[in-house]
Structure 1
Amino acid sequence: MPHPQTAENIMKNAGPIESALLPKLIHVTEAAAIAAAHQIGKGDKNYADQVSVEAMRRMLNCLDIRGVIKIGEGERDEAPMLYIGEEVGTGNGDLEVDIAVDPLEGTNLCADGVPGSISVMAMSEPNGLFHGPDVYMDKIVVGPEVVKYEREHPGEEIDLDAPAIDNLEIVARALNRSVEELVVVILDRERHKDKIEEIRKTGARVNLVSDGDLMPGVSTAIRGSGIHVVMGSGGSGEAVLTASAMKILGGKVLARLILPSVANRKPDDVIAREVEEKMPRLKKMGITEDNMNDVLDTEKLVPGKDVIFAATGVTSGHFLKGTNLFGYGDARVHSISMGSSGIVKFSDSIYIHDKENTPLRL
C-alpha cells in the first residue's frame, strides 16, 4: 500500500550546500552565541561583539568551503575580520559559498541583558546573496499567507511606497483579521516618528523594538508569533539576512537602499558628505545614484536557489530562548536552522564541558 514519503522527498531535493552544511551551520552560530552570552549584562557591547565575531570566524575557518563574506561586519578598512569580501573556510572541497553574517545582532540588547539578541548567518551558492553596502534599507516584511493572497488577487499587492493603511488592509484580508488585530514591529527611532503615527492611525498595534528587527521579520512567517508585519529602515545586512529566511519560508521582503543621513533627515551638507564618502564604494557594487532607489524584492535580495539560514538565541527573544550558561563552561542553546528544501529545525543543544559536574536535565 503506498504511503507518504514527504521527509524522503524533501531531503532528496536538498542542494549540495544544504546537504553538506546545514547540519554544521548551527555549530557556527551557537559558538558565537555562547561567546557573546558570557558578556550578557556587562555593559560592553563592543567586547560582546568582538568575542562573538572571533568565535564565528574560527568556526567558519573549520568548514571545508571556499567562502566569501558578502554581508559582514563592515568594509575591509572598518572591520578586522568577517569584513565584506573576506575569504573564509579551509579552501578544501568543491563548495563555493556566499555568506551573510551577523555574529551578534542586537549588541546593545546583549550588553544590557534584555531580550532579542541573536547570532545569525546565511549561505548560498556564489551570487546568491545581494552584495549589500553598509548603509540602510527601508523595508516591509510579510509572511507567506500574504504572498498567497497577492497571487490569488491580482492588483492587490504590498507596495513599499503605499500608505500604511493600504498595505495593512491587504495583510488583514490575507490573514482573515481586522487591521486592529495586526501587530506591526518597527525600530524605535526618531526617523520613524511619522511612520509610527501613521500606523497607529490605522488602528493597528505597534510593537516598538529598541534594536534588532531581523527576527521579528522572520516571525511574520511563523504562525503564533504574534507579529504580522515589519516596517521601517534599518541595516541593509539585516534586510538580506531576513530575506534569506523569508526566501525559504515563502514570505516576502520589499526593500530600498537609503543612506543613513537621508533616513535620519540630516542637513543637506551632511547628506552631501555621506554621498561623497559612500558612493564610490557603492558604484563598485553596481549601485549608482540612478538605481539606488530601485525596489528590491526577496528574489533580488536572495537570488540563490540553495540557501541555508541559522540563528541562535543569545538573550531570549520572539521565539528563540536565550543561551543558558552553567558553572563549568557548559551551555544550553536554542537555535533555528532551515534550508531551501523546506526543512526547518528547532534545536535545543547542550554543550557539556565537564561531564561529571553537569548532568543532563530534562
Structure 2
Amino acid sequence: MNPTNTSDRAGDGRALPLDPDRNLALELVRATEAAAIASAREVGRGDKIKVDQAAVDAMRPVLGSVSMRGVVVIGEGEKDEAPMLYNGEKVGNGSDPEVDIAVDPIDGTTAAAKALPDAVAMVGLAERGTMFDPGPCVYMRKLVVPGAAADVIDPEAPVGDILRSVARSIGKQVSDVRVAVLDRPRHESLVASILAAGASVRFLLDGDVAGAIAVGREGSGIDALLGIGGTPEGVLAACALRCDGSAIFGKLYPRNEDERSAAIDFGHDVDRVLTTTDLVSGDNVFFAGTGVTDSPLLRGVQFEADRVRTQSISMRSRSGAVRIVDAWHDRERSNLITASGRGH
C-alpha cells in the first residue's frame, strides 16, 4: 500500500506525493455508515436477524466499490452459512492494494434489536496475510488495557494484580478503575474478583468490540476490559487498538476437548498469549465504526425530519490519526440512505 501518484504542489511547484490509502479511511466509514443507517431502521423491533441482514445488505455494495482487492478473513461465517460477507469472500473493485478484511456489520445485534446500548457497525483492514485466522477457535480470554499499561502488565497475573498495575499506569486509585465485562453467567467469578480488588464493572450486554476500543478513551469511563468473548471480535478489536496504541492480550479458550483438538490440528498453540501484533501484524491498519445505538464509544443513529445523523470513528495505524466523524445524510440525496431504503 505505497503511494504511486501525485496531487497538489508545493510552493516551488514540486508535486507532492499522494497517499491513495487516505481514501480507504473515508471509504470504510462510508461502509459502516451504510450498515448503521440500514440496521437502525430495525432497532427496537425485536428481530436480531433482520438487524444483521439489513447491515450486511447495505455494507456489502459499498465495500464492493472500494479500490482494493480484499479477502474477508473475519466475516459472517462460512459461505454455506452466511450469504454475504462470509469468510474467504473477495470484496473490492479488484484494484490494488491487496488487503485482509475484518467485518462485523453489527457488533451487538441483540442490543440493537432490543434498542439497548452498545451496537456498532465495524470494519477493519490490513495488508494481505497479516490478520490472525481464528479457524475453529470460537472464544478467547481477553484483556484490553490503555497504552500506558501495555508494557507493565502481566496478562496471566491475578485480576487484582492486573487492576493495580492498570491503576498505577494511568494515575488512578483502583477504586476509580472501571472494567468492561460481557454480562454472561460465565463471568460471575471474574466480576467477584474485580469487585474484591476494589474496582467497578461496566457490563456489556452484547458485543465487546466497542467496549475494547473504548478502553482509555477520554470520556468513555472504561479503563480496562476483561473476560471471555469471541475470537473473531478480538481480531477486529486489535485492528482499532493497533491504531490508537492500546493493547489487547488474548488466549484461545476451547470449550471442550473437541474444540481443543480442532485448534491444535489447525496449527494454534492454545497456551500462547497472543498480543495485539499477533492478532494484526500489518504496518498499515485501518478501522472504521459507526454507532447504531449509543455506546461509550459513539452516539447512535438519529433519524430527523429531512436527514439522518451518524457518528463514526476512523483510525489508521501508520499516521496514528483517530477521527470522530459527525455526518448528516440528506434523506433525498444520500446514496447511502437510498441503498438501504428509506423505510420507516
TM-score for both structures, normalised by structure 1: 0.83
| Structure 1 residues 300-359: Cα deviation after superposition (integer angstroms, max 9, x where no partner) | 01101000101000001113111012356x41100010111111111111111337xxxx
Q: What are the equivalent positions in structure 2 for 1:256-267 lying under 5 Å apart?
A: 256-259=251-254, 262=255
Corresponding residue for residue 298 of structure 1: 276
The structural deviation recorded for 1:221 is 3.2
- The question of whether the paired residues in 1 share the 8 Å contact of 2:42 and 2:113 is answered with yes
The structural deviation recorded for 1:128 is 2.1
Q: Matches of 1:238 and 1:180 in 2, distance apart?
A: 29
Corresponding residue for residue 107 of structure 1: 109
- The question of whether the paired residues in 1 share the 8 Å contact of 2:242 and 2:277 is answered with yes
Corresponding residue for residue 315 of structure 1: 293
- The question of whether the paired residues in 2 share the 8 Å contact of 1:244 and 1:308 is answered with yes
Q: Matches of 1:319 and 1:217 in 2, distance apart?
A: 9
Query: Per the alignment, do residues 14 and 205 of structure 1 end up closer, same or farther by CA in structure 2, a change over 3 Å counting?
Result: farther
Percent pairwise identity: 40
Q: Matches of 1:95 and 1:159 in 2, distance apart?
A: 37
TM-score for both structures, normalised by structure 2: 0.87
Q: Does 1:50 align with 2:41?
A: no
Count of equivalent residues: 317
Q: CA RMSD in A?
A: 2.0
Q: What is the letter of the counterpart of residue 311 of structure 2?
A: H
- The question of whether the paired residues in 2 share the 8 Å contact of 1:221 and 1:250 is answered with no
The structural deviation recorded for 1:273 is 4.8
Q: What is the letter of the counterpart of residue 55 of structure 2?
A: S
The one of 130, 144, 169 aligned to 1:128: 130
| Structure 1 residues 262-312: Cα deviation after superposition (integer angstroms, max 9, x where no partner) | 2xxxxxxxx345456xx17x745x32xxx1221100110110100010100
- The question of whether the paired residues in 1 share the 8 Å contact of 2:214 and 2:222 is answered with yes
- The question of whether the paired residues in 1 share the 8 Å contact of 2:291 and 2:310 is answered with yes
- The question of whether the paired residues in 1 share the 8 Å contact of 2:118 and 2:204 is answered with no
| Structure 1 residues 22-70: Cα deviation after superposition (integer angstroms, max 9, x where no partner) | 1211000000000100000000001110110111111111112110001
Corresponding residue for residue 90 of structure 1: 93
- The question of whether the paired residues in 2 share the 8 Å contact of 1:122 and 1:309 is answered with yes
- The question of whether the paired residues in 2 share the 8 Å contact of 1:106 and 1:117 is answered with yes
Corresponding residue for residue 153 of structure 1: none
Q: What are the equivalent positions in structure 2 for 1:269-348 lying under 5 Å apart?
A: 271-274=256-259, 279=262, 283-284=265-266, 286-287=267-268, 291-327=269-305, 330-340=307-317, 341-348=319-326
Name the SS of the counterpart of 1:296 in structure 2: coil
- The question of whether the paired residues in 2 share the 8 Å contact of 1:312 and 1:334 is answered with yes
Corresponding residue for residue 71 of structure 1: 74
Q: Does 1:28 align with 2:31?
A: yes
The structural deviation recorded for 1:74 is 1.3
Corresponding residue for residue 217 of structure 2: 222
Q: Matches of 1:105 and 1:201 in 2, distance apart?
A: 30
The one of 228, 242, 261 aligned to 1:233: 228
Name the SS of the counterpart of 1:345 in structure 2: strand
Corresponding residue for residue 159 of structure 1: 154
Corresponding residue for residue 360 of structure 1: none
Corresponding residue for residue 116 of structure 1: 118
Q: Matches of 1:210 and 1:319 in 2, distance apart?
A: 15
Corresponding residue for residue 336 of structure 2: none
